[in-house]
Copies of this chain bind each other. A is one copy, B any other.
């Protein structure tokens, strides 16, 4: 009632203060999840889960996005049958200043170095 659509299925997110560094690092330590975060950051847009072409099945994709959500890295909202993802940049920058940017830069640098797009 307070804000926005009442029709959306519920989706649990940690509050800003509940986000733990270890959880964030663990979430980012997986290559696929790191890729997702990189793409979310570079596009700075709302991307549906299905937008990402990951070499895994749908169920595994669901799993990875849940990890990202529960770690506090992304905010997810249902839009129709799709689920859109947004990076929680403000929360992360407030809690861990510079962390996200340096991880993204490191990932970009390494991708460059290794030539994997």
Contact = CB atoms under 8 A, between A and B. Distances in A.
A29 B23 CA distance: 7
Nearest to A99: B102
A39 to B, nearest CB: 16
Interface of A: 17, 20-22, 25-26, 28-31, 34, 95-99, 101-103, 105-107, 109-110, 113
Q: Which 10 residue pairs of A and B lie closest in terms of their CB atoms, listed nearest first?
A: A96-B106, A25-B29, A26-B29, A98-B102, A99-B102, A102-B102, A21-B110, A99-B106, A25-B25, A25-B28
A105 B97 contact: yes
B29 A106 contact: no
A96 B28 CA distance: 15
Contacts of A105: 96-99
